Chains A and B, each alone.
Chain A
Amino acid sequence: MSEKIALSIDDLSFSYGGKKALDNVTFNIRSGECTILLGPNGAGKSTLFALITHLYDTHQGRIELCGYDVKKQTRNALAKLGVVFQQTTLDMDLSVVQNLRYHAALHGMSGKLAMQRIQKELEQLNMFDRRFERVRQLNGGHRRRVEIARALLHKPEVLLLDEPTVGLDVPSRQSIVDYVHHLAANENMAVLWASHLIDEIYPNDHLVVLHKGQVKANGTVDEVLQLTNSPLIKDAFYQLTQGEQA
């Protein structure tokens, strides 16, 4: 794991009208590190993702992606970012390869380079043989794999995943969890994974617990367990979110 900070969130607050969704949120993510953002529904996870991806503008606080201010140097910052959103964002009527080529075009890749990267990423996820199938014909797990391949096409340094395993069966979930951890460990990628599933956490992951827009804990799994004096992450999470269900 390197010490390079790939994503820095500093004193970030955001409100919808009078309702505060994020309140002085601060944490960093380093390259080669997988950070799990844990929080119950309504904790502010999706708002945080919308701010990092510049779908909403930052009014208070600062977000830096690989040294670029998301608000002021948006395009440089977004070029370093790969995203897998909670809802599927593939075009159901297009084939796998058409979806990926569209993304490659948005990132300015030539046709030849795009095809090379598409082949590489799909092969890594065992989806290359299905590249000409329409997305509508794929099951949920395979669609997710295509979305991960798409998020990696432009070789981002930071990968954001917003609850990517919701609704998937156990083997599909496990293979995605393993693959993303592999990306952080072997490709030196910084990963921010929003989840409310405790079993997706690896022992050497970094944890950020978000509750009602505030960071309740930020550290390694051991540090969070120590902080809460709990034997299990499940108990620590329960304690930090004051008994609310994940």
Chain B
Amino acid sequence: MNILHYWRAMWGIVGRELWRFVTQRERFISALVRPLIWLFVFAAGFRAALGLAITPPYETYILYEVYITPGLLGMIQLFNGMQSSLSMVYDREMGSMRILLVSPLPRWFLLLSKLLAGTGVSIVQAYVFLGIARAYEIEAPWQGYLWVLPALVLSGLMLGALGLLLSSFIKQLENFAGVMNFVIFPMFFMSTALYPLWKLQESSELLKNLAQYNPFSQAVELIRFALYGQFNQAAFIYTLSAFTIFMAAAIVGYNPSKGMMARKGGAG
């Protein structure tokens, strides 16, 4: 067992996931269509209704499309994390997960590799989305496209780890609809992806607090500031902490003696 073994295994897992993604054209297109509809339809309609004050990191008045872009990058990663989680549950039901889990590597490493693979896929999607947005003059400073990369890595890992954690709890594929209702929608709508905190505060203090402490909001703010070349330390620490907690819980969840796997029955 050596470093080379770990390296080859990690590339095996990441390469497989990327290959699957680029060859599944429908998945690639549908992953892009969702945020693009939000950007070109929802945001365009909302532009007139929502006035935005100047808030950091923006130094001038901005269009609603500009405000919503980092939120939609977060949305891509949120959906991607849940999609990976869905595929983990599917793989487990179909049995192909077993091939991964019976390989002679520590389980935390296998889960982390899976997570890195999912994050890599979400970053490819995010950059394609940014490219399309730029073509329609929804632009960030050039260096922002570079600075956003580490932010996307961390936010992708955090949202992927959440998906991984959920997949350790979900026994059957049918239960996954609940994830849509109870995780994706509340996380997305109760966040700063669509409206700034002060706007939420105008309607409800509770809503503002929920949005503020929602890890998804912090990931979106990390991305938003990075896209304008700024480092949001509070959002970074919050997102990193959330990642650590979700990942640790997911590793426990997949531990054969402690986690949910031990409590699940089997036939035969």
Q: Which residues of A are interface residues toward B (Cβ below 8 A)?
A: 16-17, 41-47, 50, 53-57, 59, 74-76, 78-79, 81, 83, 85-91, 93-94, 98, 101-110
Contacts and interface: CB of A to CB of B under 8 A. Distances in A.
Contacts, number: 106
Given A57-B257, A107-B104, A108-B5, A89 B267 contact: no
A98 B16 CA distance: 8
Contact of B100 (A81, A86, A106): A106
Nearest to B95: A87
5 contacts: A46-B267, A53-B98, A83-B102, A85-B98, A91-B16
Given A57-B262, A89-B98, A94-B19, A101 B104 contact: no
A55 B256 contact: yes
Given A53-B101, A105-B11, 11 more contacts: A57-B255, A57-B262, A78-B104, A79-B104, A81-B102, A87-B95, A102-B12, A105-B15, A106-B13, A106-B103, A107-B5
Contacts of A104: 12
A139 B199 CA distance: 59
Interface of B: 1-2, 4-6, 8-9, 11-13, 15-16, 19-20, 23-24, 94-96, 98-106, 255-257, 261-262, 265-268
A91 to B, nearest CB: 6
Given A42-B268, A53-B98, A88-B95, A105 B105 contact: no
Contacts of B256: 54-57
A101 B95 contact: no
Contacts of B19: 94, 98
A45 B256 CA distance: 18
A56 B20 CA distance: 29
Q: Which secondary structure dominates where chain B touches chain A?
A: helix
Contacts of B102: 53-55, 78, 81, 83
Contacts of B4: 108
Contact of A110 (B8, B106, B266, B267): B8
Given A76-B104, A79-B104, A91 B96 contact: yes
* Most chain B beta carbons < 10 A, residue from A16, A88, A102, A110: A102
B100 to A, nearest CB: 7
The secondary-structure label for the interface of chain A is: loop
Nearest to B2: A108
A85 B95 contact: yes
B103 A107 contact: yes
A55 B13 CA distance: 19
B255 to A, nearest CB: 8
A36 to B, nearest CB: 15
Contact of B262 (A56, A81, A110): A56
A76 B105 CA distance: 9
Contacts of A83: 98, 102
B50 to A, nearest CB: 42
A45 B12 CA distance: 31
B253 to A, nearest CB: 14
A38 to B, nearest CB: 13
Nearest to B3: A108
B12 A105 contact: yes
Nearest to A41: B268
B16 A94 contact: yes
Nearest to A160: B102
B200 to A, nearest CB: 42
B267 A93 contact: no
Contact of B106 (A16, A44, A75, A94): A75
A97 to B, nearest CB: 12
Given A41-B268, A44-B268, A75-B105, A109 B99 contact: no
